[in-house]
Structure 1
Amino acid sequence: MNTIRAIQDQSDYEDYWDFLNYQIDGYWLDEKLDELYPNNLYKGLIPTLVYWMEREDEKEVVWKRILPNKNETSICPILMCPDDNDFSCTLIVAEIRNCGNLIQWKQIGLDKTKEWDAEKTGSTVEWFDKLDEFNFSIHEYLTMVENFRERLSIDKIRIEEK
């Protein structure tokens, strides 16, 4: 069984805020991708579950797909470029399956969808071959998602005060 947590991370870039990030089995997902696939600029990508995503339709897609219904699978955007805060730049997706007591990230890949429509995101994916499937306990996964959800209101206040 793998572990997944939403942990405070410091931005790799001077001009960006600290944020919650995915920590899987004790490592940051963006850094692991950068290690496995160097020269693709994956280090520094941020979760799509943050408040400051630019487009409402994209936020809806992320929150709808991050936890599919029991016995269903979704392709969910999980990491994005912090420059654009939307699906237009580098976008990493996961094929997520809800098995009831277990959440599987069956595979992770680079979204190659050409259509500029949030609902079509994940229709064309270049799947990574150097990552194994991740299996998370439903309890730990729900805690991770709830931590991101709780952080939304905090970040909303921070942004509106800016």
Structure 2
Amino acid sequence: MVWDRTYSTSPGWATLVPLLVCSDDLDLTCNVIVAEQHADEHHVHWRRFGLLRGLISLQSPAVDWYDSIPSLTFERAHFQSVLDVFRKQEGIKMDWD
């Protein structure tokens, strides 16, 4: 689920991407730090960051947003390239590989 959300970079698409989860079992029901990810044709934006309060699988889960953290913008091709390199290094396979 984490990788599917991170790779959700179709222009106009928005999703919550888990950035920090419980390390023991990757439990997405414990404290989860998320980024609100939006994408356009050339960039991927992490517009805001927060603490997930609801289930990430819900349509609009509750999030306590951290207003003091600035947004981040990545060049789209570089963003996807870095993800691909990391997955290859860690031996993580996706359905489309």
- Sort the TM-score into its range (normalised by shorter chain): 0.7 to 0.9
Which residue of structure 2 aligns with residue 139 of structure 1?
77
**TM-score where L is the length of structure 2:** 0.79
Which residue of structure 2 aligns with residue 151 of structure 1?
89
- The 3-state SS of whatever aligns with 2:25 is coil
**TM-score where L is the length of structure 1:** 0.50
Unaligned runs of 5+ in 1: 1-60, 155-162
Matches within 5 A, 1:10-159: 61-68=1-8, 69-113=10-54, 115=55, 119-120=57-58, 123-153=61-91
Structure with more helix by fraction = 1
> What's the RMSD between the two structures over aligned residues?
2.0
Identity %: 26
Instruction: Give deviations 1:69-93, integer Å, cap 9, x for gaps.
Output: 2221111112112133221322111
Unaligned runs of 5+ in 2: 93-97
Count of matched residue positions in the alignment of Structure 1 and Structure 2: 91
Instruction: Give deviations 1:96-153, integer Å, cap 9, x for gaps.
Output: 011111100011111001x5xx522861101111111101111221122112321342
Q: Considering only CA atoms, is the larger Rg found in Structure 1 or Structure 2?
A: 1
8 Å Cα contact 1:98/1:104 also seen in 2? yes
